[in-house]
Amino acid sequence: RKEVEQDPGPFNVPEGATVAFNCTYSNSASQSFFWYRQDCRKEPKLLMSVYSSGNEDGRFTAQLNRASQYISLLIRDSKLSDSATYLCVVNIASTLGRLYFGRGTQLTVWP
Amino acid sequence: DVKVTQSSRYLVKRTGEKVFLECVQDMDHENMFWYRQDPGLGLRLIYFSYDVKMKEKGDIPEGYSVSREKKERFSLILESASTNQTSMYLCASKTQGAEDGYTFGSGTRLTVV
């Protein structure tokens, strides 16, 4: 069983749309959570950390539900430049700093 | 900003060659990682290191080895390159703090012919 599961998509949305990605994790010892963004043929880059109380960064909102072991990312007012693959990432305690990655959700925003 | 530098952006090697991929980070991070990424398979961990001279196998270590003689440098070695090792290789580093994510290098696209 994979540590982190994501719907691979693809999600194809028009500019201005709101889109949500979901992710589940299997290990209850998971202690920190992130969303990464990866553009085509580039390295993943940290988009935002996810905190228990939920957090927002401009058009992006991340939520964590520890009871359901579920993480979400909401993108409002989508831009063409949001087209990318979004990776859900989890840090599990006692794994020597290793992070666990979902396979990613592909988003395409069209004009 | 943390910088993680991979020595080559593109590399073409012949089957059977010994291949060295180098990664250097400039922020005194304890942990360093080597991944490969293939379409449909996501990121797969090959090896990682949490201190100088320390190494841990990841999920797919077969055919690879690593070296960490200095804190800032983590090398991935393909002992005898094979065509199924054609892939994008990504190096990453992080602190030991649980709250910190990785910083990735820009990747090395290796083709074995």
Spatial contact of B70 and B53, defined as CB atoms under 8 Å apart: no
Side chain identity at residue B67, one-letter code: S
Q: In this structure, what DSSP letter does residue B85 have?
A: G
Residues A72-94 have pLDDT tens digits of 999 999 999 999 999 999 998 77
Instruction: Point out the residue among B43, B50, B98 whose CB comes nearest to the CB of A91.
Output: B98
What pLDDT is recorded for position B40? 86
Q: List CB contacts of A10: < 8 A, sequence separation 6 or more.
A: A106, A107, A108
For residues B64-80, average pLDDT = 97
Query: Quick check: B43 and A44 CB within 8 A?
Result: yes
Site from A87, A92, A98, A106 to mutate, B interface, most B CB atoms within 10 angstroms: A98
Spatial contact of B6 and B106, defined as CB atoms under 8 Å apart: yes
Spatial contact of B94 and B29, defined as CB atoms under 8 Å apart: yes
Give whole-number Cα distances, A29 to A26, A69, B105, in Å. 9, 10, 28
Chain A: closest CA distance from residue B28 (Å): 15
Q: Read off the pLDDT band of B2 (50, 70, 90).
A: low
Residue B86 has pLDDT above 90, yes or no: yes
Residues A29-80 have pLDDT tens digits of 888 999 999 999 999 999 999 988 889 999 999 999 999 999 999 999 999 9
CA distance A106 to B11: 27
CA distance A84 to B48: 27
Calculate the dihedral angle through the C-alpha atoms of A25, A28, A30, A32, rounding to the nearest 10 degrees: 90
